Amino acid sequence: MPRLLPLLPLLGLLFATGSHAIEIGEVLERSQQQRLEAGVPATTDSERAQRIRTSFDHLVQLAPTEKPVELRILQGGLQAEAMLGRVLVVGEAVGDLPEGERLMLLAHEYGHLVMGHWGALVGLYRQHIPGEVNPQTTDPVAAVLGVQGQQLSHRHEYEADAFGFNLARRLGIGLDEALSLLMRRPVNFDSPTHPATRRRIAQLRSLQMAADAATDFPAAAAPVARAPKPAAAASN
């Protein structure tokens, strides 16, 4: 599952470099850039990579962005991550997922990028560390930044889940796929970056209920106007 938030401990490694004043946005960018560069690109013409690219293209067509999103397929496991506000990094094993789960996963990550979550996170850090990054400026705010960073990250996860769910629904994918995906790697407790799986599932269920209610309501309100459904279409 995706990871968006580098927390304060990473700052330590940058103090070692510090011959010039560095600001927090640069620290965060650099840290993500390093992680991004550590990945090994996958073969681009494999079937798995093709399936990932096809799913990604579907999503982009449905919900185009102003700023282009780069898809980067790396060797590795079942993971995907929005990075630097502009790159969607995907492990090639995502190509082995059932298509619905793959779309759900990519739509979630795409949501992080479309909704500008990286910029919001950097903004939070800048608010607390407006000037030069050094122990004098970061130590006093570390605790409050930890709390607020977690709150913001959790909100971002719920927002990306909702975005992904709504986008994937337009491709005929729904709660079953979302739950299957989440249950591949269930997490019992909240982490600094992600809410516990059951909390995310609770939100998805309520989104599904709201979607069902929106679909049912016109039928209940205007039964006369509806044409009778053929039996074959009654279940879906």
Residues within the interface to Zn ion (CB under 5 A): 2, 157, 160
- Nearer CB in complex with Zn ion: 133/181: 181
- Nearer CB in complex with Zn ion: 117/129: 117
Output the smallest distance, CB 117 to Zn ion, in A. 8
Output the smallest distance, CB 197 to Zn ion, in A. 12
Output the smallest distance, CB 195 to Zn ion, in A. 10
Q: Closest-CB residue for Zn ion? A: 2
Q: Count CB neighbours of 108 within 10 A.
A: 27
Residues 56 and 88: their CA atoms lie apart, in Å, by 9
- Nearer CB in complex with Zn ion: 133/194: 194
Question: What phi and psi, each to the nearest 5 degrees, are found at residue 210?
Answer: -65, -40
**8-state DSSP, 94:** G
Residues 142 and 129: their CA atoms lie apart, in Å, by 10
Output the smallest distance, CB 69 to Zn ion, in A. 15
CA 92 to the chain's CA centroid: 17
- Nearer CB in complex with Zn ion: 138/193: 193
> Alpha helices of 90-196 — where are they, by DSSP H?
99-114, 117-128, 135-138, 142-169, 175-182
